[in-house]
Each structure stands twice: as structure tokens, then as C-alpha cells.
Amino acid sequence: MSETFGDFEDLLKRALAPVDPPADLANRFEATLTELTELAQDEWESWELAAMRDPRNWVRPVAAAAIGTTAGAALVLLRVRQQHRRRAAKASGPIDLAERTLHAVADETRRILDR
């Protein structure tokens, strides 16, 4: 019985061992978010105000706004998080780190919106 329990414990340890993500996962994720944001911006740019009188035409602009906002926010957070260690090393304290992080969020947001 104890041998069976030991085997079961070994199986659980192997099954629950941490797995490292692929090295290029962050790059692929960022590329996907960038593409979604750009597609949503293109959709918004092609939209005509006169067509909005009919509620059936509201789906695409609303979906583009939701997808673009979500992907853009995730992209900002991803990029700010990637630079966290560098900002933390330069910061003189927690308040300075918070200020630097807020500036980084604002800068990344401007970069995305300027595209």
C-alpha cells in the first residue's frame, strides 16, 4: 500500500512540475496584441458617421472599440511590465517607482494612440 502511495506521489510531482513558457511567447503575444490594436484602429478609421443612423451598423464599430481598447490596454501593461526591473533599479523609493511606472504607462499609451 505504501509503495502505491509513493508511486502516486511521484506521479503527482511529475505532473505538477512547473513548466517554463516558450522563449518567444512574450514576443508572439505582443505581436498579436499590436495586430489586434491596429486592425481595430483601421476599422474605426473606415467607419462613416452617416451609416450610424441604422442600429444594425453599430456592431462593427462597437466590437472594434472593445477589441482595440482591450488589446491596447494589455499591450501597454505588457510593455510596462517588461521594463519594471530597469525602473525599479533607477527608483529611489516606492513613491518614485510608482511615479516612474505611471509615466511609463502614459508614454506607452501615447505611442499606441499615435499609430
Q: What is the pLDDT of residues 11-22, one digit of tens each?
A: 888 888 888 888
Would you state the torsion angle of the CA atoms of residues 58, 63, 68, 74, taken in this order, to the nearest 10 degrees? 150
Q: What percent of the chain has pLDDT over 90?
A: 28
- Average pLDDT rounded to a whole number, residues 83-94: 89
d(CA 25, CA 56): 38
Asked whether the predicted pLDDT for residue 76 surpasses 80, the reply is yes
Residue 114's closest CA among 77, 76, 84?
76
pLDDT value of residue 105: 93
- Average pLDDT rounded to a whole number, residues 102-111: 92
Say which residue, 50 or 28, is predicted with more confidence. 28
pLDDT value of residue 1: 46
pLDDT value of residue 3: 59
- Average pLDDT rounded to a whole number, residues 45-60: 78
Pick the range with the lowest mean pLDDT from 11-20, 44-53, 63-72. 44-53
d(CA 15, CA 10): 9
Instruction: Please list, in sequence order, all residues whose beta carbon lies within 8 angstroms of the beta carbon of residue 38, skipping any fewer than 6 positions away.
Output: 115
